[in-house]
Amino acid sequence: MTPGAGHSDLHVIIENRQSLSGQAYLALFNNSDDWMKMDRACRQASQSCSKGDGSIFITLADLQHGTYAACVLLDINGNQQMDFNIIGYPTEPFAFSTQSSITTIIGPPEFNQASFSHDAEMSLYLQL
């Protein structure tokens, strides 16, 4: 990202299609080296939701303009981590920016597949 670049809000709207309750965890990354390393996310946020909530709204205020990729997990059992079945597939709802899906049974899309440009106030729509 360029020094002195602008800043604006990023509104993340997460569609809770299964109408589940839990805690939605959003992680935002600004480079491929840090992608999906949760402790290296450039921004993180969370929002609780209840059954019947059709959407979950999270705003990342004053975000520096640049290229980002996002992932979100709906933690339905409250253990603050993604759970997997015996073959390694997530058992809790998740989503990636640009609606990229898991590319293999063992991993998320690459950073460049999930990345988007943030250069003005905008809304990012994700579906769990």
pLDDT tens for the chain, 128 residues long, are 444 569 999 999 999 888 789 999 999 999 999 999 999 999 999 999 988 778 999 999 999 999 999 999 999 999 999 998 998 888 999 999 987 555 544 678 999 999 999 999 999 999 98
- Domain 8-127's class? mainly beta
Question: Which segments of the chain does DSSP mark as H helices, in order?
Answer: 111-114
| E-assigned strand segments in the chain | 7-15, 22-29, 43-49, 55-64, 66-75, 94-96, 115-118, 122-127
Residue 55 dihedral angles phi and psi, to the nearest 5°: -140, 155
Residue found by looking up tokens 């921004």 in the block: 43
Structure tokens at 80: 């603050």
pTM comes to 0.87
